[in-house]
Structure 1
Amino acid sequence: MSKNLTKKIVALSVASLLFGIQQLRAQTASADASSADGKNILKWNVAALATKSYSFQYERAVGNKVAVAIGYRFMPKSGIPFKSTINDWVDDEQTERTINNFKTSNFAITPEVRFYVGKGIFQGFYLAPFARYAKYNGEGPFQYDITQLNLSETIYFKGGINTYTAGLMIGAQWKLTKLLYLDWWIVGPNYGTAKGDLTGQKTLNALEQAEFKKQLDDFVEDLPLVHATAQVDGNGANIHIKGPWAGARAGLNIGFRF
């Protein structure tokens, strides 16, 4: 190898090293500047009020364009949100009556990682893969008819469903003032599994079991979005839910940076 070629290789290596150091310093300076107002944002999803829910999220920067976040949402016990829309999907009067009288509550925990594709952390469009655990509780009366005896009976169901899903959020975040931010969750489809039971206790004779089973089967077949099966015996009934679960996240958040 000639002496001139060796010098060129050494010079190129030194230049590359100096360029790498310069880039690292620039990124460090950029990260320091971006975190001057704080690496954290605490947010409230005001749009969740439309579903009778309270939703909050904590986000922390861990890189120039990467952040991690954890969300918590809960809904106190109340009627099912958007009952009229859900009832549009069913064609059975019994199912509609049960939905109208049903009470539900829930909470969800949602960790996510955010990758900002804009000019820096906490600003612009982002992609956020996430996981979610949610627990849904429900209770309500189910009315059934015993036609042979011209009677109507009621059994009260109570129970819960656990869901585990994962998905991808597409969103955008804007800086409104030095410390105030607006975070728009455009859409976050998610998919996973669900499992749970609703149980009703009531002493039933053979005739009541037969009539109740037929009407309960019709009810669970008309339930939208979930797969359910019903069992009836002399002590009452159980609705077992197990299978796929799909959902979507959306929202509009006001955040404070610190």
Structure 2
Amino acid sequence: MRKLLLCAVTALTFFCAKAQDVQNTIKINPLSALLRTGSVFYERKISDGMSAQLGVAYTGIKISDTKFTGLALTPELRFYLKKNAPAGLYAAPFLRYQNYTVSDGSDEGKYTSFGGGALMGYQWVYGSGFTLDLFFGPSYNNGKYKATSGANEPDIKGGIEGFGLRTGVAIGFGF
């Protein structure tokens, strides 16, 4: 029983200790897989209170009868409120570029958008290197559709165009 307790305390200490010398993190958003999207984030510490992050996502999502396939890039600048980047509470303005092939059966085309928003989040970086990042905030995207076949423009609303909410959970590794 003592050995089990000692192992549990050691493991808890290992996972709860803050990493002090982390300069970079690589993360994925496992929730995006529910939307048939894969997203990867790379964050680099710039100073004690600031970091820069680049997110790359590839999707094959279908909303109603409209299918989107393509790439999104999301650069953001994070300001850590307690000056301990990349861990703690942060505020982050971000930009987003999206380039998708859009189809709804008989009509197909290219959709390109540009937008941005602001996030609030909290990131934990543990002594083991494990990183957990929770974030949310408003976003806006505006784009153009150019038909390649068919006569009608597919419905592009539904979180891809206009106002939306960017939220997520990212897990990864800090080094």
TM-score (norm 1): 0.54
Higher helix share: 1
> Partners in 2 of 1:74 and 1:127 — Cα distance?
25
- The structure that has the greater radius of gyration is 1
Give the Å deviation of 1:64: 0.7
After superposition, give the CA deviation of every residue in 1:191-212 in whole Å (9 maximum; x if it has no partner): 242111234359xxxxxxxxxx
Give the aligned partner of residue 168 of structure 2. Answer: 251
Kept in 2: contact 1:58–1:70 (CA 8 A): yes
- Would you say 1:159 and 2:93 are equivalent positions? no
Contact 2:109 2:145 in 1 (8 A): yes
Q: Give CA-to-partner distance per residue, 1:186-232, whole Å, 9 cap, x none.
A: x1322242111234359xxxxxxxxxxxxx6xx97xx4738xxxxxx
Q: State the partner residue of 1:137.
A: 101
Q: Percent identity?
A: 29
* Greater fraction of residues in strand: 2
Quote the residue 1:46 is aligned against. Answer: 30
Q: Which runs of 5+ in 1 are unaligned?
A: 1-33, 84-98, 142-155, 203-215, 227-243
Q: CA separation in 2, counterparts of 1:188 and 1:160?
A: 27
Match of 1:71 in 2: 55
Higher relative contact order (CA 8 A, sep 6+): 2
* Preserved CA contact (<8 Å) 2:108 2:150: no
Q: Hey, what does 1:173 align to over in structure 2?
A: 123
Q: What SS does the aligned partner of 2:31 have?
A: helix
* Structure 1 partner of 2:45: 61
What is the CA RMSD across the aligned residues, in angstroms?
2.6
Which residue of the partner structure matches residue 107 of structure 1?
71
1:189 pairs with one of 138, 141, 148 = 138
CA positional deviation for 1:59: 0.3
- Report if the CA contact (8 A) 2:110-2:148 is conserved: no
Contact 2:56 2:73 in 1 (8 A): yes
2:157 to 212, 225, 228: 225
Distance 1:53 1:67 in 2: 25
Paired with 2:20 and 2:82, the residues of 1 have a C-alpha distance of 18
| Runs of 4+ in structure 1 over 4 Å off | none
User: 2:6 corresponds to which residue?
Assistant: none
Answer yes or no: is the 8 Å Cα contact 1:57–1:71 preserved in 2: yes
Which consecutive residues of structure 2, in runs of 5 or more, have no partner in the other structure?
1-17
Q: Name the aligned partner's letter for residue 43 of structure 1.
A: K
Q: How many residues were matched structurally? A: 156
Letter of the 1:225 partner, please give it.
K
CA contact (8 A) 1:189 1:248 kept: yes
